[in-house]
Structure 1
């Protein structure tokens, strides 16, 4: 028996085919634009939320659960920027890693069986967007 793991969209890509739109959070409004929220649950129980604009482009992602998702897949083309971040844009300790640049913001933290984080593309967020809606 072959089991396919659920896929999720990469940051800056389009919404994952397996993602289910979360109705109660599907209208995150920022000024005149709306972000739609989609969710994918990994077999491990970790939940990934994708925040997409009207064109279906994922501008932000969050994750929370017992395992850390594959950040290389989740961040897509932006992973190398995160992995090769400069010390001036880096905050890291044993349980967290972060980067904050004009093009990419990622914060990931956790410990065994409890991981959470978010990533977003600041230049693609709608004007007036409240970041507390995704953190």
Structure 2
């Protein structure tokens, strides 16, 4: 019994820290006590998906698009950058590698366009935006233009 409680605490922590993009939907920003969450069911051209919108205490809005138990796209917009490592999961390293190749002077736009992931991130202080999606996981009829 004395091992069960620490195991439950550890498993809860691990599930909250699991990757969002390409993984099961998470409770993004769960540690942010001031956040607000709204979930919507949506459909387009016969395919259905869920959109979970989290407004963080900073005012940044994060959306996770999921179908068949997999987050296939995410977007963010607001005054501060969300935790992209958590939001992008293993694809966060791809974004970091691309950002490291860019000159640092005045350009905060970073784009990754690979077969397995597409990421766009940019903005300036108090106005950050971005989106990421997995082309192979997009539901039928859903396009990158549908990510808001």
What TM-score results when the alignment is normalised by the length of structure 2?
Answer: 0.71
In structure 2, how many angstroms separate the alpha carbons of the residues matched to 1:117 and 1:15?
Answer: 19
In structure 2, how many angstroms separate the alpha carbons of the residues matched to 1:43 and 1:75?
Answer: 20
Is contact 1:9–1:50 with CA below 8 Å preserved after alignment? no
1:78 to 64, 79, 91: 91
Partner of 1:28: 43
Unaligned runs of 5+ in 2: 1-15, 31-36
CA offset at residue 94 of structure 1?
1.1
Unaligned runs of 5+ in 1: 1-5
Partner of 2:78: 65
Name the SS of the counterpart of 1:84 in structure 2. helix
Per-residue CA deviations over 1:75-104 (Å, capped at 9, x if unaligned) read 1011122222499xx8x9612111001100
Q: Which has the higher helix share?
A: 2
Is contact 2:65–2:71 with CA below 8 Å preserved after alignment? yes
The total of aligned residue pairs comes to 124
| Cα gap change, 1:117 to 1:8, in 2 (>3 Å) | farther
Is 2:132 the partner of 1:119? yes
In structure 2, how many angstroms separate the alpha carbons of the residues matched to 1:69 and 1:40?
Answer: 11
| Cα gap change, 1:132 to 1:28, in 2 (>3 Å) | farther
Is contact 1:8–1:40 with CA below 8 Å preserved after alignment? no
Q: Which has the larger radius of gyration?
A: 2
Partner of 1:41: 55
